[in-house]
């Protein structure tokens, strides 16, 4: 066992270290590949952790060991050659301290209990650093409960290949605040979920082939930026939360029954800006959001493209502010289910692919407002069960005929008084302008 000490005056007795090292190295003599290595007893590693002084670095010899607990603020570094195996029972590694660093480990084979949240790494402490680990064949990747100010970076989680509803979450935060989760890869889990968790940063991650790419539930003031969410059932979902910032993310190919890139349910003062929301059934789905009286949801500078519906409202709601967004390639730009309109929201300075007008003075703004109408023939808005048939030849023909010769007065769904027609460069530069009066 190689142990590096930051404070030699508080070191573990040399004889004890030597004895532990001899025992561990003797146990580590194996010739088989890593996946077929015997699982060795980790009691000596555990003893060293329990006796370590703060800041000591513990580097186990290469090998495959049983699960372990980190109970002191030490550095546990596997150097990419150490595997901890849960042997199909419980969580593989527990952090029950503040200020530890866990790096370069391979964590595998947790138990399968959802009530116990069997995971690759369980965290019950603050100020820890978890970095550069590979976590696979586990139920949950990382589970943090009442744990604040931790850093989780550059880890790779591969979920267990079972039915998506039975998987665990790549990361679960429960009453955990001010954590930073950056530059990780999460594949094949269920959700990334923040429950009652505030002030966390989720940045630069890649998440794919799950249920919810990111699920913010009764949370507040979290930031998600520069992430890639692809091939999930839903990209980003916010429910009953407030103050979040969703910025510079690429969200695409949500393929669930609803298939929404980004959804808001009863969420308030949420900023959604400069995201790519593409190739989904709905780019943005809004249900009674914003919810709190007097709150607004600014939605600005996003590219909402190649979706079935660009923005869908589940009811006639108000106080979303759409400015500087690009709507292109969507079959339907905006839909309101159950009747009503989207006029109680602000629509200003957006770029609409189907705008029918000119810019005679060359200022980059259309000479007349962009008006979007709803037609009585669009039965899939008023009768939700018929939405299953949306996109079929019959309904598309009905939509076309109703726009061509409507049999009743169309309903004005929204009006953008300053539709943007400038170049891509000019449009991007002006995409975050405040709405005009």
Q: Are 210 and 233 in contact (CB under 8 A)?
A: yes
Distance between CA atoms of residues 172 and 117, nearest Å = 10
Q: Are 159 and 142 in contact (CB under 8 A)?
A: no
How many domains does the chain fold into? 1
Say what angle helices 43-51 and 14-27 make with each other, to 10 degrees.
160
Q: Is 224 part of a structural domain of the chain?
A: yes
Q: Are 55 and 47 in contact (CB under 8 A)?
A: no
pLDDT attached to residue 411: 82
Q: Is 1 part of a structural domain of the chain?
A: no
Q: Identify the sign of the CA torsion 270, 274, 275, 276.
A: positive
Helices and strands in the chain: count of H runs, count of E runs: 5, 39
Phi, psi of 399 (to 5 degrees): -60, -45
Burial class (CB in 10 A: 0-12, 13-18, 19+), 97: buried
The residue segments making up the domain with residue 333 are: 216-375+410-437
Distance between CA atoms of residues 293 and 206, nearest Å = 35
Pair of tokens at residue 115: 């009530």
Q: Is 296 part of a structural domain of the chain?
A: yes
Instruction: Report strand pairing: 2-4 vs 57-59.
Output: antiparallel
Q: Is 167 part of a structural domain of the chain?
A: no
Distance between CA atoms of residues 19 and 391, nearest Å = 72
In angstroms, what is the C-alpha Rg of the chain?
27
Per-residue pLDDT of the chain (437 residues; tens, 9 = 90+): 445 433 333 333 333 333 344 343 333 333 333 456 789 999 999 999 999 999 999 999 999 999 999 999 999 999 999 999 999 999 999 999 999 999 999 999 999 999 999 999 999 999 999 999 999 999 999 999 999 999 999 999 999 999 998 999 999 999 999 999 999 999 999 999 999 999 999 999 999 999 999 999 999 999 999 999 999 999 999 999 999 999 999 999 998 767 999 999 999 999 999 999 999 999 999 999 999 999 999 999 999 999 999 999 998 899 999 999 999 999 899 999 877 899 999 999 999 998 988 988 888 899 999 999 876 545 555 555 555 555 556 556 656 555 555 555 678 999 999 999 865 554 554 444 344 33
pLDDT attached to residue 66: 96
Q: Is 29 part of a structural domain of the chain?
A: no
Alpha carbon separation from 162 to 110, 115, 152, 184, 189 (Å, rounded): 14, 17, 25, 22, 9
Q: Are 147 and 168 in contact (CB under 8 A)?
A: no
Q: Is 289 part of a structural domain of the chain?
A: yes
Q: Is 344 part of a structural domain of the chain?
A: yes
Q: Is 311 part of a structural domain of the chain?
A: yes
């Amino acid at each position: 066992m190689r142990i590096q000490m930051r404070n030699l005056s508080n070191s573990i007795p040399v004889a004890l270290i030597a004895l532990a090292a001899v025992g561990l190295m003797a146990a580590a003599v194996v010739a088989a590949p890593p996946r077929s290595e015997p699982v060795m007893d980790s009691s000596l590693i555990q003893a060293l952790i329990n006796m370590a002084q703060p800041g000591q670095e513990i580097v186990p010899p290469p090998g495959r060991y049983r699960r372990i607990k980190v109970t002191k603020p030490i550095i546990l570094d596997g150097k990419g050659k150490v595997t901890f195996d849960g042997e199909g029972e419980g969580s593989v590694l527990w952090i029950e301290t503040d200020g530890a660093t866990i790096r370069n480990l391979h964590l595998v084979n947790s138990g399968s209990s959802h009530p116990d949240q069997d995971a690759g790494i369980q965290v019950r402490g603050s100020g820890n650093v978890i970095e550069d680990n590979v976590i696979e064949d586990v139920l949950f990747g990382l589970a943090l409960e009442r744990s604040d100010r931790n850093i989780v970076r550059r880890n790779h989680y591969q979920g267990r290949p079972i039915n998506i509803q039975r998987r665990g979450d790549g990361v679960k935060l429960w009453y955990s605040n001010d954590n930073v989760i950056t530059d990780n890869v999460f594949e094949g889990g269920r959700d990334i979920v923040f429950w009652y968790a505030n002030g966390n940063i989720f940045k630069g991650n890649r998440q794919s082939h799950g249920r919810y790419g990111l699920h913010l539930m009764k949370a507040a003031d979290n930031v998600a930026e520069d992430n890639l969410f692809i091939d999930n059932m839903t990209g980003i979902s916010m429910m009953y939360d407030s103050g979040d910032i969703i910025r510079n993310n690429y969200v695409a190919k949500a393929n669930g029954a609803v298939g929404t890139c980004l959804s808001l349910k009863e969420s308030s003062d949420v900023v959604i800006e400069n995201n790519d929301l593409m190739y989904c059934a709905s780019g943005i789905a809004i249900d009674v959001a914003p919810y709190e009286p007097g709150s607004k949801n600014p939605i600005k500078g996003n590219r909402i493209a190649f979706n079935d519906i660009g923005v869908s409202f589940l009811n006639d709601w108000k106080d979303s502010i759409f400015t500087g967004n690009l709507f292109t390639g969507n079959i339907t730009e905006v839909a309101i289910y159950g009747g009503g309109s989207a006029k109680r929201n602000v629509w200003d300075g957006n770029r609409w692919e189907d705008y029918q007008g000119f810019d005679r003075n060359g200022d980059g703004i259309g000479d007349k407002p962009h008006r979007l109408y709803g037609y009585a023939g669009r039965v899939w808005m008023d009768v939700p069960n018929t939405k299953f048939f949306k996109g079929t030849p019959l309904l598309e023909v009905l939509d076309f005929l109703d726009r061509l010769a409507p049999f009743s007065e169309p309903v004005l769904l929204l009006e953008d008084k300053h539709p943007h027609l400038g170049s891509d460069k000019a449009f991007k530069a002006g995409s975050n302008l405040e709405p005009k009066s």
